[in-house]
A and B are shown apart, each in its own frame.
Chain A
C-alpha cells in the first residue's frame, strides 16, 4: 500500500483513462498505484506459499487397485465379482442394465419425469461407449487367455453355445456355492456340484487376474490400434461397485483414512473441497436413496449455477449485499474519510 495524504490524492487525475473509467470515477479521489509491482508481490507470496507447502506437506499419490491386487489379496471376492458380472447382477456389475452411454436400453437411465438427459444424449449421439458386460468383461478376455490354456477355451465355447436358461442355472448354482467356498493357496474351492463350465471359467478369470494380464485383455479388445490405448473404461468399471474394489484399498485404510471420495483426498490432505456444495446434496437421505440421485443433484446445481450467473439481473437477490452491509467493512476507510468529499465534488 502506498502511504498517501489527502493532498496526494487530490493531485492525481484521470488523465489517460478511458471513457468508462472517467465516468465511473468522477469525483473520486485517486491514489498512486503500481499494477505490476502488486502482481509481482502477490505472485511471490503465492510462490513461496506453494513451495513451502510442497516441501513440508507434499501431496498424496497412492497406487491404484487393479485386478492383480484383488485376485491376489481377495480371490473369493474377485471370483464373486466375475460371476456377478457374467450373471448381469446389477448389485455387482457397474454396467449391468445401466443404459447409456454403455447400452441402448434407456429404461434404467436416470430421469426426472420427462427430463431424461441420458436418453436424449443417446438419441443424439447414440451409444457412445458400448459394453456388453458378460461378453466384453468375461468371455472375450477368457477367449484370449484360452490361447495358453485350450481346456479353458473349450469351457468358454461350451458356455457360449448353451441356452441362456442353462447358463443361468449353472451360474446360479455356482454363485450359491461361492457363499460356502474356501480359499486354498490362492485358489477358490467350491463344493462339488453341477456348475457346467462356469467353475472352470471363473478359475480362468482368477488366474488371468492374478497374472496381471486382465487389463491388457480389456485394452486389446476391439482395438485395432493396440497397444495404443487410453480408454480405461472396462478396466475401471470391472470392480467399480463391487466390494473387492473398496475392500482391496486396505492399504489406504491402513494409512488411517478410510474416508475418501471426490471431495476427500486420500491421507490427511484437502481434496476438491470446492465441490462440497455439490457433494453435500448426496448427504440428504431423500436424495441419496433416490434412483435418480445423480440427476437430482445435477439439476439442483444447474439451477444454483444459473442463479449465480444471472444474479445481477434478479431483483431482490441483487440487493442482498446492500442489505447485509459487509461492504462497510471492506470500504470502511472510504466511508470514514472520503465519501462526503466525493459527493461534494460530483
Chain B
C-alpha cells in the first residue's frame, strides 16, 4: 500500500481546493451571525501575534516597558474579543442546530475547543505575574485540587503555567481549530431547517 497515494485519495475525497478555499457559498450563509466564528478565529491569530511578540522579551518585561505594556494591553483585549466571538459563535450554532446532517463531530470538536480556550485563558490570567494572577492562583487552586488536577497542575507554579500558556495550549487550540475548520469546510454549512 502506498501511503502517499492513500493520503492523496483521502484528501481528494474529503477536502477539494474548492472546499478549502471556497469561491461559492450557499445563499443562506447571509447573516452577520456567520462572522462570529471568523471573529474568534481572527482574534486567535491576533493573540498568537501579540503572544509571540510578548514572548520575545520573556514573561516579565511588559510590566516596565512601554512597548511591552501596549502588547500586553492588546493581548488582554484580544482575549476579550476572542471569547465574545467564540460564545456568540457557539450560541449561533446552537440556535441553527448546526450539528445536523452528520456534523456532530464538528460540534464536539468545537465544544472541546471552547473548554481548551477557557483553560488557556485561565493560564493566561495566572501568567500576568501581578496582583490578579496572585489572587486567581490562590483561589483557583482549590477547585484544581478538589478535582485531583492539582496533583499535576499547580496554579502557583509560574514555570508550569508559562509553558502551558505559551507552548502547550496554543498548540492544542491551534490543532483543534485546524480539525474544526477541516470538518466545517468538508461538510459545508448546515442547511436551514425544513419548516
| Residues of A participating in the B interface, judged by any CB pair closer than 8 Å | 1, 4, 9, 12, 14-21, 24-25, 28-36, 38-39, 42-43, 45-47, 49-51, 53-55, 57-65, 94, 98, 100-101, 109-110, 117-118, 120-122, 124-126, 128-129, 230-233, 236-237, 240-241, 245, 249, 252, 260-262, 265-266, 269-275, 292, 294-295, 297-298, 305, 308-313, 318, 320-322, 324, 326-328, 330-331, 333-335, 337-339, 343
Quote the shortest CB–CB distance from B76 to chain A (angstroms): 4
Whether A54 lies near B38 (C-beta < 8 A) is no
Given A100-B151, A334-B192, output 5 extra A-B contacts at Cβ < 8 Å. Answer: A21-B18, A28-B26, A53-B77, A230-B162, A232-B137
Whether A35 lies near B21 (C-beta < 8 A) is yes
Q: Note all chain A residues with C-beta closer than 8 A to B160.
A: 230
Q: Note all chain B residues with C-beta closer than 8 A to A237.
A: 138, 156
28 contacts between A and B (CB under 8 A): A16-B16, A17-B19, A18-B186, A25-B188, A29-B27, A39-B42, A43-B42, A43-B46, A47-B46, A63-B130, A64-B129, A65-B131, A118-B147, A125-B151, A230-B159, A230-B160, A232-B156, A237-B156, A245-B138, A271-B132, A272-B121, A311-B107, A321-B97, A322-B193, A326-B95, A330-B92, A331-B96, A339-B195
B3 CB within 8 Å of chain A: no
Whether A42 lies near B35 (C-beta < 8 A) is yes
Residues A32 and B192 in contact in the complex (CB < 8 Å), given A309-B108, A312-B108:
no
Residues A309 and B18 in contact in the complex (CB < 8 Å), given A50-B81, A333-B30:
no
Q: Note all chain A residues with C-beta closer than 8 A to B147.
A: 117-118, 294-295, 298
Q: How far is the CA of A39 from the CA of B37 in the complex (A)?
A: 11
Q: How far is the CA of A9 from the CA of B24 in the complex (A)?
A: 9
Give the nearest-CB partner of A60 in chain B. B132
Contact partner, B111, options A59, A308, A324, Cβ 8 Å: A308
Quote the shortest CB–CB distance from A322 to chain B (angstroms): 6
Whether A42 lies near B187 (C-beta < 8 A) is no
Q: Which of B146-169 contact A (CB under 8 A)?
A: 146-152, 154, 156-160, 162
Q: Note all chain B residues with C-beta closer than 8 A to A15.
A: 18
Quote the shortest CB–CB distance from A18 to chain B (angstroms): 5
Whether A274 lies near B146 (C-beta < 8 A) is no
Give the nearest-CB partner of A334 in chain B. B28
Q: Note all chain A residues with C-beta closer than 8 A to B94.
A: 311, 320-321
Quote the shortest CB–CB distance from A57 to chain B (angstroms): 8
Contact partner, A49, options B23, B41, B81, B156, Cβ 8 Å: B81
B53 CB within 8 Å of chain A: no
Contact partner, A31, options B25, B100, B132, B145, Cβ 8 Å: B25
Q: Note all chain B residues with C-beta closer than 8 A to A310.
A: 108
Whether A334 lies near B70 (C-beta < 8 A) is no
Quote the shortest CB–CB distance from A228 to chain B (angstroms): 9
Residues A262 and B140 in contact in the complex (CB < 8 Å), given A30-B24, A117-B146, A275-B118:
yes
Q: Which of B62-101 contact A (CB under 8 A)?
A: 63, 69-70, 72-74, 76-78, 80-81, 83, 86-87, 92, 94-97, 99-101
Q: Note all chain A residues with C-beta closer than 8 A to B157.
A: 230-233
Residues A322 and B97 in contact in the complex (CB < 8 Å), given A33-B24, A61-B69:
yes
Give the nearest-CB partner of A27 in chain B. B191
Q: Note all chain A residues with C-beta closer than 8 A to B151.
A: 100-101, 118, 121-122, 124-126, 128
Kindly name the residue among B41, B122, B142, B152 whose own CB sees the greatest number of chain A CB atoms within 10 A.
B142
Whether B38 lies near A20 (C-beta < 8 A) is no
Quote the shortest CB–CB distance from B91 to chain A (angstroms): 9
Whether A101 lies near B150 (C-beta < 8 A) is yes
Q: Note all chain A residues with C-beta closer than 8 A to B18.
A: 15-18, 21
Whether B101 lies near A24 (C-beta < 8 A) is yes
B55 CB within 8 Å of chain A: no
Q: How far is the CA of A122 from the CA of B157 in the complex (A)?
A: 19
Q: Note all chain B residues with C-beta closer than 8 A to A62.
A: 130-132
Whether B99 lies near A318 (C-beta < 8 A) is yes
B112 CB within 8 Å of chain A: yes
Whether B122 lies near A272 (C-beta < 8 A) is yes
Q: Note all chain B residues with C-beta closer than 8 A to A269.
A: 76
Whether B33 lies near A28 (C-beta < 8 A) is no
Residues A42 and B152 in contact in the complex (CB < 8 Å), given A61-B128, A274-B121:
no
Q: How far is the CA of A298 from the CA of B121 in the complex (A)?
A: 17
Quote the shortest CB–CB distance from A252 to chain B (angstroms): 7
Q: Note all chain A residues with C-beta closer than 8 A to B194.
A: 343
Q: How far is the CA of A292 from the CA of B7 in the complex (A)?
A: 51
